[in-house]
Amino acid sequence: VSTQSTWGQMPIWSKGGDAADDLIHTFTVGDDYLWDRILCPYDVLASIAHAKMLHKVELLSEADAQALQAGLHTLYHEFKAERWTVEATDEDVHSKVEALLTSRLGDPAKRLHTGRSRNDQVMTDVRMWQKDKLIDLSQLLLDTIGQFLEKAEAYEFHPLPGYTHLQRGMPSSIGQFFGGHASCLLENLILLNAAYQLCDRCPLGSGAGYGVGLPLDRSYTSQLLGFERPPTIAMADANSRGKVETATLDALGAVLNDISRFAADLVFFTSNECGFFSIASQFTTGSSIMPQKRNLDLFELMRGRASRFLGLRTGLQATTVGLFSGYNRDVQDTKAVLMEGVRMAEGMLAALKKAVPSLTPVTTNITAALTPELYATDVAYQMMLDHKMPFRDAYVEVGRNLTSLPPQNHEEIVRRRTHVGSTGNLQLPALRRQCESERQVWVSRGQHLHAAWSALLE
């Protein structure tokens, strides 16, 4: 009896004559094989580590271990050279790698799956990929923050209206505007760091959620793959699938939410009704019907995609709500949602990093908006200090005489607000130092991780 269906080779789980119906195969695989293409190098690296561990605990002979490692090295470099990938007929990356090895090595390849399930395999691959991406994204975020700080430093004491309820309320500054957004973005590294730590535990060896009846050395495998946290209870590994991915999208979602607020500010501040900033024409688009229009679609789409991202994050977490412990096929779909979310965040950060340097203040429009009532609170404070009045009395007095408020020296007001975080004391050098400190952490992580992976390929 044939063990193959019309869609290709015998599946990794087949015992002979039990291939799935073609339609069922198409439904269960879906587009998962496309996302598995991203995981190919990580899967090969994890398999090298697993082969080394099997040999260490005497579950694999020296000859088989050497054959498998050599074969996996070849597969790694062939993938990098685009000589193979995962196809719909392969079901997943694990099946593809095993099939390629079996066609070349025979029996040694059949021993590679000893002590592991495709569940702990894919969890390990995804955790490796997540760590790699979080390192890249955190450094991209720091690069983007650096662009904000350059603007804040260049225009530190330049006045700008501060808005509440979308109405001009108090004096602010361009330095505070860009510095404030930079500070918000920088805080998200706390969340990104937490997400990284959750990813930094190796699930390989946990099987389908209950471990295996073999003397696996999970700590050795974890060390080879560059994981820092020690292995834990197998069922906790299985149940963490989806939770760890959600934590990554939570951290990136906070970044995108901050970006969406900056984008909303820019849509307003660059409008004809406001005109506080201009941006180079290559960052705008035109209208198909109105020849005069130049639209800031870039920032409008950033707002929209932050909302779309929230849908991905919600869908990811919802997949695991109420799920029975151990492996369930539902979690297959967490991979696509995670990867799509990471791709979206990566694109938004890259676009923002490129766009911010092109923003230029339009000082004439800003100055025109710095009308006397903007300084009403400052006048009340000055009255309180000069006449030893209670603030509430000064507040009432100024509020009754808004039409007679005197003009103010805009830059002087900005500079004399000297408490921490106000326009005259933004502490931008401290933000710079914090950025550098954070960068060192992420660079060190990347060096450690890639050193471990490079060692597997030696």
Q: Which residues are catalytic?
A: 165, 287
324: left (phi over 0), alpha (psi -120 to 50) or beta: beta
Half-sphere exposure of 77 (CA within 13 A, CB side): 9
Q: Exposed, middle or buried, 386 (CB in 10 Å: 0-12/13-18/19+)?
A: exposed
Helix axis angle, 174-199 to 118-154, nearest 10°: 160
Phi-psi domain of 212 (left: phi exceeds 0; alpha: psi -120 through 50; beta: other): beta
The first and second tokens of residue 93, run together, are 């990356």
Separate counts of helices (H) and strands (E) for the chain: 17, 6
Our measurement of the distance from residue 217's CA atom to the centroid of its chain's CA atoms, rounded to an integer in Å, reads 32
Residue 16 dihedral angles phi and psi, to the nearest 5°: 110, 120
Cα distance between residue 384 and residue 127, in whole Å = 59
Distance CA(395)–CA(202), nearest Å, equals: 61
What DSSP element (H or E) covers 108?
helix 107-110
Report d(CA 216, CA 419) in Å as an integer.
59
Q: Which two tokens stand for residue 218?
A: 């999970």
Q: Is 400 exposed, middle or buried (0-12, 13-18, 19+ CB in 10 A)?
A: exposed
CA triplet 130, 319, 240: central angle to 5 degrees? 50
Which single residue is written with the structure tokens 């539902």?
A: 330
SS3 call for 279: coil
